Structure 1
Amino acid sequence: MSFARALFLISALALGGCEDMMDNLDPSSEDLRPTIDENTEGHRVGQTAPDFTIPDTLDNSVTMSAELQGANGIVLYFTMWCPICDAHMTHMRSNIMPNYPNVKFYFIDYVSGSVQFARTAQISNGYADATVLVDTDQAVMNLYNATMGTTVVIGSDGVVAMNEDYKDGSRLNEILGALP
């Protein structure tokens, strides 16, 4: 019993001495993200969106900057065809996309590994009518620091207006409603 008490006392003292090394878990309303220089290219809101060219599931090359021509904006949704992604994409297709006919929506498959497998996943999941881009080497995913469910909005000026996880679509609706 005395060994356990001694071990506890030593542990408490050791952890108490790590005060400067522990995360600050006190909440604050201060935004601690780095300031963004709006004249730089990157994935953060306010930065110029990195351009890319990748194939769609019909093996046509799609270049983001070309797709922005004549559009109010572009929405990229990163999918891995899981039930959560399906729920998000179904919600987006039913409740968001019809309200923004001048915005181009692209689902990006970053897990299938080939155009052929991505096309199979697209059809088997009921998205044959949607435009699905195939990010075989996850280059676009890395450009936008994306993961499953990441939703990126790029305005007609080529600037990132949103880059965050899809939740219920309200934030996406808000951002799209503010596009010129």
Structure 2
Amino acid sequence: MQGVDKLEKARERVIDAIAQNMNLYGVTPSVGRLWGLMYFHEEPMTLDEMKQELGMSKTSMSTSVRNLMELKMVDKVWKKGIRKDLYEVEEDWYQTFIDFFTIKWRNGISMNVSAIQKSLAELKELLKDDQVSDEIKVEAESDIVKLNNALEYYFWLNRLVDSFESHEIFTFVPKK
């Protein structure tokens, strides 16, 4: 059929770019390729169809789909008369960006804030300890200032994530 090769080449270029881009953010290239394949597929797909298209095992497909569902990039859908699970991509790139990054950012924020708060508590206890030298206490006080500054950053980042989730960000940076 005329033009099929060009169509496939154009799609493959975008799928490769998506896979490489998602790899930068901790998602394997194969998961990125799966999302790209599903994006260009007009109908929801079964795991068997995905397996056939990408040549991966059904277990690998299942794991990849589950990963994409956790990132809110793929949804399970129902279609009358079809018993197998069907999956389709979230086609709103803005929402996909928001879901993907806010999940990643929230995890990072939570991990760092927890570590900082634990360290702050330990450093404050250190300041109360009469057995600790003044030199160590001065360093601990300096670290407390640094960690409080870091907390301010993470609280700001949390508000930024909130603005993405509420779509308030589009007030400041419109979609078009």
Q: TM over 0.5: same fold?
A: no
RCO higher in structure (CA 8 A, sep ≥6): 1
Larger strand share, 1 or 2: 1
Q: Which has the larger radius of gyration?
A: 2
TM-score range relative to shorter protein: under 0.3
Give the structure-1-normalised TM-score: 0.25
Give the structure-2-normalised TM-score: 0.25
